[in-house]
Amino acid sequence: MSTLTKVLIILLTISSIFLCGIVVTYVANAVDYKQKYDGLYQEYRAAKENEENASRQFNELKNQTDEEKLNLGNEMASLKGDIERLKADLANAERDRDDARRRKENWEAIVRDFTLTNKEQGDLLQKTLDDLDRVQTVLIEEQKKHKETSTALIENLAVIALLEEKQEELLDEKTELQNKLDQLLRQYGKVIAPPVPLPAVAQKVQVAPAIKDIDLKGLVTTVDLKRLLAEISIGAADGVKEGTRFHVTRDDKFICDIVIMDVEPETAVGWLELLQARPEDQPRAGDHASTNL
């Protein structure tokens, strides 16, 4: 055998040994790689599932976040609207507060003025009431005096009426005696001088002139035919004066005249004149009395 052949055989043997080592190494490494591949594949599948879960959770979280963002945006818009309304309400409240403060100040000024005016009016009212009390006291005294005077006057008028009746009786007796005396004297042919008329005993009431520029109207409240007196429902407060003549009527019928002789603030008393003959035409309470027919 040649040297080249030996060298080739040696090289082939070494190559075979090296190739066997490579095959053994490959087989050993192939088993190890398969295990690694299976492990890596399992890890890949797990990672893939984790990725899918993470993606699903991300999408769910994203949707939830988007929904919450939308809700939050709506709430923010609503809150902004509420804020604007609250700002408007605050502005209105501030205006109302300012208006209320101005009204309060105005009312305080009015109350101060009213209190001052009320105090002045109260003082004036108290002074007026005091004056009224004094006037009423004087008026009560005057009314009392008027009543006493009226009572005395009525009594005196009653006495005068009795004296006049007595005088009329005496005049009648005197006339009768005078007639008898004349008859006796004529029998003897003598005539006596006519008697001088006596002056009136008393002038009843000085009658005031007729009043045409005023028209006083009232009612007859009391009538005393025995004393020829009557009371009417109006007095000095209505313009009645002593001597005023009132015409008494009933419906359209003239009854008599009343000539005022005593006047009080609310009533007046007068003398009856021009009485009618018939009883039904005599004055009574309720008849109308006026200064003008």
Domains within the chain, CATH numbers bracketed: 217-290 (2.40.10.340)
Residue 230's pLDDT is what? 95
pTM of the model: 0.33
Q: Which pLDDT tens digits describe the chain residue by residue (293 residues)?
A: 577 787 778 878 887 887 777 777 776 666 566 777 788 888 888 888 888 888 888 888 888 888 888 888 888 888 888 898 888 989 998 898 988 889 888 888 888 888 888 788 888 888 888 888 888 888 788 778 777 777 777 777 777 777 778 778 887 887 787 777 777 766 655 444 444 343 443 344 444 444 444 789 999 999 999 889 999 999 999 999 999 999 999 998 999 999 999 999 999 999 999 998 888 999 999 999 999 87
Q: According to the model, what pLDDT value does residue 271 have? A: 93
Tell me which residue of 219, 262, 224 sits closest to 244, measured CA to CA: 262
Question: What pLDDT was estimated at residue 268?
Answer: 95
Q: What pLDDT, on the 0 to 100 scale, is given for residue 5? A: 80
